[in-house]
Homo-oligomer: A and B are copies of this chain.
Amino acid sequence: MKNVGVYRLPMQGPDDVSELKKLIEENVIAAEDIVAIVAQTEGDGYARGYANLNFELLLSEKLGMTREQVTEKIPMLMIGLTGGLMSPHYTVFTRQDVEAVETDEKRLAIGIAKTRVLKPEEYGTKTHVMLVAEAVKEAMKDAEIEDIEDVHLVEVKCPNLTAARVADAESRGQKVVSKNFAEAGAKSKGASALGVAVALGEVSADAITDAVICQDWSLYSTKASTSAGNEQVASKVVLLGNSKKAVSPFTIASGVMKDTIDVQEAVKTFESLGLSFEQGALDTLSQDRVAAVFINAGADASGSIRNRRTTLKSDFLAGYQGIVAKAVINAIVGAMIQDTMILASAGFEHQGPLGANLLAVIAEVE
């Protein structure tokens, strides 16, 4: 049986991993139990790299490994760009074997896996989709989750094209999906999301062709949150769900807010975990039970909401619509749980229907 720990820790900057250091040095967390880190870092893409390097240096020291070995062992997902009331932080997931008797109760489980190294010409293609689907199934096994209904959040970090990778593909006479790196990155994220959808039975493998990727938005996963990075060469999967093989003090639930103000769905998701509301927010006891919240924001996919025109896509902050989209969903859900230390990522490519927000909540069992 597995016990999964969830530690949500504040950071004072992308270079601040002191809270984790303290927990390791105080023996609250055993470094070797760490299975994944998901961080909400402030600043731009370079700040993500900076945070990642700081985590690597800390864990390299604590685990007596090289930085490369740390990267190989522990998926670390840095989600950048914070705005509004978003509060920079990271969530550390630990896992350890414990003696316990299996019952019918399902508890929080975590699984990790990754695809083989992808060739640049495979990024954003059906091959990419199918390899991610396979990795998701592996991660389910790793998490000891049998039923796809029990999977609630699948974070995927996938590779981006770079000039060097295009050159590599072309030197072998191969073509990449697009030499526009933004477009290629979107397809890599889209393919990863569709891989989750295939693995979880949300989309049939037969429906997947190269052409539907970032084209047919009726295909999507309601559990996937994907991001891409230049440093990745494979797609890494961190999967969260509930399992009878787990004895963690937590469970996880998820929901699909059809747009950013679909609070009814958010309420339903929180209530499914036995949490209760009072005067527009969780009551104090329920607030204390929330361990972590993850949102995949899709507000930036649209220039209107409920027939009200917004300026998200037209105003002089249009270059920052992703940040603003995250800030508003963070504010809405943060107000509900009375805490804005919520992870929000922005990305619409096959991650829920267009304009939707995917919500996953981890809470302590009562």
Contact = CB atoms under 8 A, between A and B. Distances in A.
A339 B308 contact: yes
Interface string A327-339: 1111110111011
Contacts of A310: 82, 84-87, 340
Contact of A49 (B12, B50, B318): B50
Given A46-B43, A315-B42, A324 B280 contact: no
Interface in A273-320: 277, 279-281, 299, 305-306, 308-312, 314-320
A185 interface: no
A122 interface: no
Given A44-B44, A86-B311, A87-B309, A15 B331 contact: no
Contacts of A330: 328
> Among the interface residues A263, A281, A308, A341, which one has the most CB atoms of the partner chain B within 10 A?
A308
Given A268-B279, A280-B277, A85 B312 contact: yes
A205 interface: no
Contact of A83 (B86, B88, B317): B317
Contacts of A238: none
Contacts of A320: 317, 319
Counting chain A residues whose Cβ lies within 8 A of the other chain, the interface size class is 35 or more
> Among the interface residues A312, A314, A317, A338, which one has the most CB atoms of the partner chain B within 10 A?
A317
Given A50-B47, A328-B331, A311 B83 contact: yes
Contacts of A308: 10, 85, 87, 339-341
A365 interface: no
B261 A338 contact: yes
A328 B279 contact: no
Nearest to A262: B335
Nearest to A43: B46
> Among the interface residues A83, A85, A334, which one has the most CB atoms of the partner chain B within 10 A?
A85
A266 interface: yes
A314 B341 CA distance: 17
A13 interface: yes
A14 interface: yes
Interface in A71-87: 82-87
Given A46-B13, A340-B305, A264 B277 contact: no
Given A280-B267, A331-B331, A324 B15 contact: no
A296 B328 CA distance: 17
A53 B13 CA distance: 14
A332 B331 CA distance: 6
A292 to B, nearest CB: 14
Interface string A37-69: 000001111110110011000000000000000
A228 to B, nearest CB: 15
A108 interface: no
5 residue pairs, one from A and one from B, having the closest CB atoms? A319-B319, A50-B50, A263-B280, A328-B331, A87-B308
22 contacts: A10-B308, A10-B309, A13-B46, A43-B43, A43-B315, A47-B47, A83-B311, A83-B324, A84-B299, A85-B261, A85-B328, A87-B305, A87-B308, A87-B310, A261-B334, A306-B340, A308-B339, A317-B320, A317-B323, A324-B324, A329-B331, A331-B331
Interface of A: 10, 12-15, 42-47, 49-50, 53-54, 82-88, 260-261, 263-264, 266-268, 277, 279-281, 299, 305-306, 308-312, 314-320, 323-325, 327-332, 334-336, 338-341
